Amino acid sequence: MRKLSIKEMNNRQYLFIVGCLLTLIVCYNFAISNTLLLYSECKIIANSNPMIAKQESTHILSELNKLNSLFEEYIADTLTVHENLLDEMDSICNVNHCKMVSFPETKLYYEFSFWVMSNTMEFEGNYFNLLKVLHAIEYSRGKGKINSCSFYVKEDLFKKIKKLRMKVIIQNISNQKF
C-alpha cells in the first residue's frame, strides 16, 4: 500500500465532510422540513380554536359508539345464547381432543324471582381429556357454572367398543330473561 500524503488525507477528509453535509441538506429538504411545517400548522390550529377540536373529538366518539352498538346488535341477532354456547363448547372440545355427543335445547324456567337457564351436554373421550374440558368450562367466563357432572361408560353396539362419556349440566341465573 502506498502511503498518503498529508495533503491527500486532508482532501479526503474535506470531501467526506462535504458529502455528509450534502446528505443532511437533502434529508432536511425532503423529510424533516415538511414534518416540522405540518407540526407547527397543527399546533396553530389547535391553539386558535380549541372548541373545533373538542367538537370533532366528540363527533368521532359518537360515531364510534354508534358503530359499536350496531355491531353488538348484529352479534345478538345472529347468534342465540344456545348457538354461542355450542360454538364455544366446540372450540373447547377441539383444543382438548374430545367429541361433543349431545347438546339438546336450552331449558329456561322462572324460579324464586330469577330466570334459570340450564344446558345439558355430553362429551366423549378419554378420562384426562374429559377432565381438561371440565376444567375449561368451569374456569371460562360467561358460560355459567357447572351444576352437575357425571361419568359413565357407553357401549357402541356396532363396533363393540366401550367409550367413556361425561354428562355436564351448566346453569346461568339472571334477573332478566335471556
The DSSP-derived string for 96-134 is HT-EEEE--PPEEEEETTEEEEEEEEEEES-HHHHHHHH
> Of 43, 77, 111, which residue constitutes the final position of a domain?
77
For the CA atoms of 49, 53, 55, 59, what is the dihedral angle to 10 degrees?
160
pTM exceeds 0.85 for this model: no
Q: Is a pLDDT exceeding 70 seen at residue 38? A: yes
The 3-state DSSP class for residue 20 equals helix
Residue 146: domain span: 81-174
pLDDT in tens, 65-101: 776 676 555 444 445 777 888 888 888 999 999 999 9
The CATH number of the domain holding residue 158 is 3.30.70.60
Confidence (pLDDT) at 72? 59
Q: Is a pLDDT exceeding 60 seen at residue 121? A: yes
Contact 77, 69 (CB under 8 A): no
Whether residues 40 and 26 fall in one domain: yes
Whether residues 96 and 30 fall in one domain: no
- Please tell me the distance from the alpha carbon of residue 150 to that of residue 130, in angstroms, as a whole number: 11
Confidence (pLDDT) at 52? 60
Confidence (pLDDT) at 78? 44
Residue 1 within a domain: no
